[in-house]
Amino acid sequence: MSKNAFLCFILCCFLNACILNDTEKDPSEKVKILQKKSSENQDSTYIYLQLASKIIALNPVKDSLKAENDYLLGKFFRAKGDIDSAAYYHHKATDLVKDSIKYYREVDYFFDTWNTYIDEGKYGDCISTANILKGKLKDNDYGNLATLYYMYENTYKASKDYEKALEYNRLQVKTLEKIEGADAYVRSALIPRAQYNYNKGDIKKSYKILDSLISLEDKLNLNTLYNIYNEYGIHRFYDKNYKGALESYLKGLESLKKMPDGDFKNNELVGTYTNISGAYLEMEKYRLASFYLDSASRFDLNKIRSSHQRNILKQKFEFASLTNKDFSEVYNYLDSVYSYQEGKYLDKYSGELVALKKANEKEKQILAEKKDLEIKSLKRIFILFGVIILVIVISVFVYNQRTHRFEKLNIQMQQRLLRSQMNPHFTFNTLYAIQNEIKESPEEASNYLLKFSRLLRLILENSTQNYVQLNEELEALKKYIELQKLRFPNKFDFEIELQDIEEDDLIFIPPMLMQPMIENSIEHGFAGIDYRGKIKLSLSMQKDFIACIVEDNGKGLSGKKSNEIKKSTSTLLINNYLKKTTKKGIEIQDKKSIGTESGVVIKFKFPYKLTEND
């Protein structure tokens, strides 16, 4: 535990003693005071809310106070970027809302719970949260019903079910029309309807919606104006009307710049600058494209969404390819994204552990039960609670010494493993091959560039996940093979064989364990051979693990021992990881030792899960 964390515990104990010794105040009043102080002093928010939680555990208070405290804890963790903890506390707040909704604040509990699940991509939990809220709303509660339909709409939109999204958009608009003075909200809600119709192929109707809205330009607020022009720009860009798209983007930018400063504005500026750059690229106005792309790149990565980071990176690749520019600027931005992802990945594991939170909740419950039986005075409560705090402090120290250090090392090891998969030589050679292809076949080069961007996006996304879906991992492998075939045309064939398993089965596996084995076959096994190579990847389901075999017909180990092969960086990391998870490492065998055919057979097993939450 760090020195700062220890000082927080000491401060917490001191404040706890002061508050619990204050016998003149009612417990509910103490909780309200602490909640108010938590919003006034951001540096001590967590301490005040934790103290309020302890008072709630020791005293009978209303559910509304408990729910508010959990909700504020959720907001605290969300602001810190700990989405898992935010979802945990927001969900606790919704559990305390009984029967029907009595206050607008209670709707905030459900909305923020839904919002955290959306960020995590847990669309099933989003629908479940909305369904619970639906059962607590009255038929004439139009304002909250509109919020409910917004939740349904955007859940289905995120899962790309545009038919369902359009259905709930209509319900939302119909409900808003029943509220006096809600005209601005109605117009804003109509904008995504244009997008749904466009995605369905009803382009004429989509433009008709946008035209009807822009005819009311004088009555629209800045946010609605920006959204309409932005949607216009996207429509026209997809229709290859790049000049019209540019005009719409620039009009949207005018409205956006007039909005108050903040994270929302910054994110929308990044998206708009990237869109403008894309339009200029298509119009072959490279100087202006570079100007707006540079403007988008200057924003702090910590303040912009990952989707914007990917779009900027993709556009930098396209710009460099189209203009035959040096790729060094692309690499610099890629390094920045990697550094940002690494920081986010470590932050995810440096917060409060779920097991410790559950243990703390159990301790509070035990304290509350013991109060009526054992504690006879406030003095004894303070002594008992002080002892428990001391035990927790000591336990945390011991826990950190024995387990937390190992967990951090394990996380760092996994990170190094994931980051080692995208070989820098492969990246450079692929970009060089694409650049050469541009001169001979620009259309084919563009196709390969898109495949490379997709592969890179998959690598960036998977680098923060412990497990990914089987079909996503196989898709990344296929794209990797396609790009290798660009470098080595007619050099080798690749085959995937699945036994007792289907590619689209809902199975989750550790990412990027197979790619380094296949890369060894291509880079080393086929080096110098005068015949067509072949790689076969076989996956079979076993009781607790998935067995993987990578077989090639290359030149074999060429005098090397399998132990020497295992000393390569990525293979060594994978071998260590597999030993920790399956108790068995990688087996490497030269085919000549078991027959006359040359080549190498690599065998290993890796764990799998049937759901993301196992």
Q: Residue 506's domain is classified under what CATH number?
A: 3.30.565.10
581 in the same domain as 559: yes
pLDDT-derived band of residue 155, with 50, 70 and 90 as boundaries? very high
Map residue 568 onto helix, strand or coil. Answer: coil
Digit-coded pLDDT (tens) for 567-581: 566 778 888 888 888
- DSSP per-residue codes, 434-481: HHHHHHH-HHHHHHHHHHHHHHHHHHHHHTT-S-EEHHHHHHHHHHHH
Q: Of 259, 291, 315, which marks where a domain is finished?
A: 259
Please say whether the beta carbons of 433 and 470 come within 8 A. no
CA-closest candidate to residue 507, choices 474, 458, 555? 474
CA 237, distance to chain mean position in Å, is: 27
Q: Of 178, 210, 239, which marks where a domain is finished?
A: 178
Q: What pLDDT shows up at residue 538?
A: 96
187 in the same domain as 113: no
116 in the same domain as 212: no
389 in the same domain as 376: yes
For the cut 90, the answer to whether the pLDDT of residue 602 exceeds it is yes
Q: What pLDDT shows up at residue 351?
A: 41
Q: Of 259, 283, 308, which marks where a domain is finished?
A: 259
205 in the same domain as 116: no
Q: What pLDDT shows up at residue 1?
A: 43
Does 282 reside within a domain? no
Percent of the chain with pLDDT over 70: 77
Digit-coded pLDDT (tens) for 207-253: 888 888 888 878 888 888 888 888 888 888 888 999 998 999 999 89
Q: Which domain holds residue 132?
A: 108-178
Q: What pLDDT shows up at residue 355?
A: 36
153 in the same domain as 194: no
Q: Under 8 Å CB-to-CB from 9, ≥6 apart: which residues? A: 389, 393
Does 49 reside within a domain? yes
603 in the same domain as 495: yes
Please say whether the beta carbons of 54 and 75 come within 8 A. no
Digit-coded pLDDT (tens) for 489-534: 889 999 999 998 999 888 999 888 888 889 888 888 888 888 999 9
Q: Tell me the one-letter amino acid at 453.
A: S
Q: What pLDDT shows up at residue 36?
A: 86
Q: What pLDDT shows up at residue 326?
A: 61
CA-closest candidate to residue 152, choices 142, 143, 161? 161
Does 603 reside within a domain? yes
pLDDT top residue among 533 and 296: 533
Q: Tell me the one-letter amino acid at 176.
A: L
Percent of the chain with pLDDT over 90: 17
pLDDT top residue among 154 and 364: 154
Q: What pLDDT shows up at residue 496?
A: 94
41, burial (CB in 10 Å: exposed 0-12, middle 13-18, buried 19+): exposed
Digit-coded pLDDT (tens) for 523-567: 888 888 889 999 999 999 988 899 999 999 998 886 565 555 555
Does 612 reside within a domain? no
Query: Per mean pLDDT, which range of 21-25, 153-157, 351-355, 600-604 is the poorest?
Result: 351-355
Q: What pLDDT shows up at residue 426?
A: 62
Q: How far apart are CA 37 and CA 310, in angstroms?
A: 40
CA-closest candidate to residue 125, choices 160, 94, 166? 94
Digit-coded pLDDT (tens) for 254-273: 988 999 988 788 888 988 99
pLDDT top residue among 603 and 212: 603
pLDDT-derived band of residue 366, with 50, 70 and 90 as boundaries? very low
- Residue 80 is classified by DSSP as T
Digit-coded pLDDT (tens) for 37-63: 888 777 788 888 888 888 888 888 888
Query: Per mean pLDDT, which range of 93-107, 347-361, 428-442, 543-557 is the poorest?
Result: 347-361
70 in the same domain as 124: no
55 in the same domain as 128: no
579 in the same domain as 500: yes
113 in the same domain as 198: no
189 in the same domain as 171: no
Does 23 reside within a domain? yes
Domains in the chain: how many in total? Answer: 4
Does 543 reside within a domain? yes
Does 530 reside within a domain? yes
Does 431 reside within a domain? no
Digit-coded pLDDT (tens) for 433-475: 677 777 777 777 777 777 777 777 777 776 667 788 999 889 8
Stretch 65-80: mean pLDDT: 86
